[in-house]
Amino acid sequence: SRVRDMFEQAKKNAPCIVFIDEIDAVGRSRGVGYGGGNDEREQTLNQLLVEMDGFEANEGIIIVAATNRPDVLDPALLRPGRFDRQVQVPNPDVKGREKILGVHARKVPLGPDVDLRIIARGTPGFSGADLANLVNEAALMAARVGRRFVTMEDFENAKDKVMMGAERRSMVMTEDEKKLTAYHEAGHAVVGYYVPQHDPIHKATIIPRGRALGLVLSLPERDQYSVTYTKYKSKIAMAMGGKVAEELIFGKENITSGAASDIQQVSKIARAMVTQFGFSDALGNVDYANEQQSYLGSYSGGGNVSPETQEKIDEEVRKLVDEGYAEAKRILTEHADEHHRLAEALLEYETLTGPEILKAMKGEPIHRGDDDDETPAPSTPSITAIPKTKKPKSKPGDDTGGMEPEPT
């Protein structure tokens, strides 16, 4: 009945647009799932189909729906006369991100140093929702220190939080764990620096974030639409750099389970190279993955590939990973000095930016504004905070009187 009501209203208000978000909630294929399906949902879907059929072309109602899962929709929904046009909306490019940031930042008072274009450039791969989250987090960072506007540094900290997870400074790590993490992450970074075509390294940290004990983040300089064979191989080598570092410094018998997610990532890349991108001469340009691939790209293996082929796939995947491991080992052996220096710097400063990583590797001193042992607290404002009681000067771009950062 709610579907009927909706269409009644639409007819009354025609011409109009009906927008249904997350259409897959009601639009999933009928007759699948437990117990033959969900009655209420199926009735809703049936009614929707009926209403869409009942339309006269001249009624002036346009129905638009959105979903992340076009693959699970009931085929009847996609027939001509119903949702018969599909528009793919990929993640925004750098221009799109700047505009989206502009929309979300409208209600947030921005400091004079904030340049949305720079933020857009530093967030490749972010979706619209990620960007909304970023602005929100930045506003919260400013609010937390009682500042009435959001600075570029807030955005930088918010970006780290969104990309790497929240810092868990309270997590207790022993000195040994810290040292191991420092060498592990330094291993990633040094290999990442020396492999060809790798994205510049943005940050390295040994402060636990989310579920990771440490992290090295590299960021592409621009939006990427295709990736070369060499770059994939470099990614594998860099991901192996952590485990290789543990092995070289602490010995094979002291390797930890900390490389599990690295290994997961490496296997995924190597498998995709072999089964999807035609990067293996032995297997040629055949798509072995698509048949068994779910929409979101997870590979389930097996399927209708012959056992011999499957064996060959495994062999080739293994070869790519082994080559990456060897490459990482070569780099970390040849550049052992840089590896040591970077690990030491990480132990001292805990978090290093891209330029600081380079300095540390070269053995140049890292200058930080404050000379205490602590890493600069993320809340340190780069611009003097305006006391809450004082009325801030109005800045260009602030059209309304609402000066509070508004988490939405």
Q: Which residues are catalytic?
A: 185
Q: Which is nearer to Zn ion, 143 or 248 (CB)?
A: 248
Least gap, CB of 404 to Zn ion (angstroms):
40
Closest CA to 244 of 366, 335, 150: 335
Q: Is 405 in the site for Zn ion (CB under 5 A)?
A: no
Of 67 and 351, which CB lies nearer to Zn ion in the complex structure?
351
CB 185 within 8 A of CB 206: yes
Site for Zn ion in 20-59 (CB under 5 A): none
228 vs 232: CA distance, rounded Å: 6
Q: Measured between alpha carbons, how far is 306 from 315 in angstroms, rounded to an integer?
A: 14
Structure tokens at 239: 């991901």
Distance of closest approach, residue 84 Cβ to Zn ion, in angstroms: 47
Q: Smallest gap, in angstroms, from Cβ of residue 265 to Zn ion?
A: 9
Any contact of residue 153 with Zn ion (CB under 5 A)? no
Our CB check for Zn ion shows the closer of 174 and 257 to be 257
Span of 125-133, 158-166, 259-267, 355-363 interacting with Zn ion by CB under 5 A: 259-267
| Kind plus residue range of the DSSP H or E element containing 215 | strand 215-218
Q: Which residue is nearest to Zn ion (CB)?
A: 242
| Cis peptide preceding 109, ω within 30 of 0 | no
**Helices and strands (DSSP H and E) totals, the chain:** 13, 5
Token pair, residue 166, equals: 């929240």
Nearer to Zn ion, 262 or 350 (CB): 262
Select from 76-84, 106-114, 201-209, 261-269 the region that touches Zn ion (CB under 5 A): 261-269
Give least dist CB 271 to Zn ion, A: 19
d(CA 140, CA 74): 41
Residues 6+ apart with CB under 8 A from 138: 108, 150, 154, 155, 157, 158
Instruction: Tell me if 242 contacts Zn ion by CB under 5 A.
Output: yes
Q: Which of 24, 51, 262, 356 binds Zn ion (CB under 5 A)?
A: 262
Q: Which residues bind Zn ion (CB under 5 A)?
A: 242, 262
